Amino acid sequence: MKLNKYVDISTLDREAKKDYIDRHSAFLNCEAEAEAGKKFKVNVRVGDEYMHPDDADHYIAYVQLWNGEKMLAQANFIEGAMGNAPQNLEVDFYIVPTKNMKLTAYAFCTKHGLWESDMKEVVVK
């Protein structure tokens, strides 16, 4: 399976390419520091400027959160979960860290495969 990665869309000329890359990419949002043993919120949003379809044959089937090579959480979706209309799918994961993390999010589109976010380091105190 091909692994797709985000490319800074401001560097692209074609609007269609910007749309394609942005609406499939997972964007990981969280604080840069966490407290050991305390609940920590990690938000993953699929798409930033462009919305992803929610059609019978084209939707985001799951979003995963990884720390290095260990999967921490997964949220699954079915067609129609976003109201059968283009949306920016968004998931909040709550994890309890014990040591520093290197977080990455993945989003799987039923038509265009797996998309990887940029990695974000979180210092755990």
Number of domains in the chain: 1
Bridge partners, residue 75, by sequence: 63
Of 124, 125, 123, 122, whose CA–CA distance to 29 is shortest?
Answer: 122
Could you tell me if 27 and 117 are in contact, meaning their C-beta atoms sit under 8 angstroms apart? yes
Q: What is d(CA 63, CA 35) in angstroms, rounded to the nearest whole number? A: 24
CA 83 to centroid of chain Cα atoms: 19
The enclosing domain of 39 has a CATH number of 2.60.40.730
Q: What is the DSSP letter of 88?
A: -
Q: What is the mean pLDDT of each run of 10 residues along the chain (125 residues)?
A: 70 70 91 97 93 91 97 96 90 97 96 93 97
Could you tell me if 53 and 87 are in contact, meaning their C-beta atoms sit under 8 angstroms apart? no
In this prediction, residue 5 carries a pLDDT of 74
Q: Which domain holds residue 109?
A: 3-124
Q: What is the DSSP letter of 99?
A: S
pTM of the model: 0.88
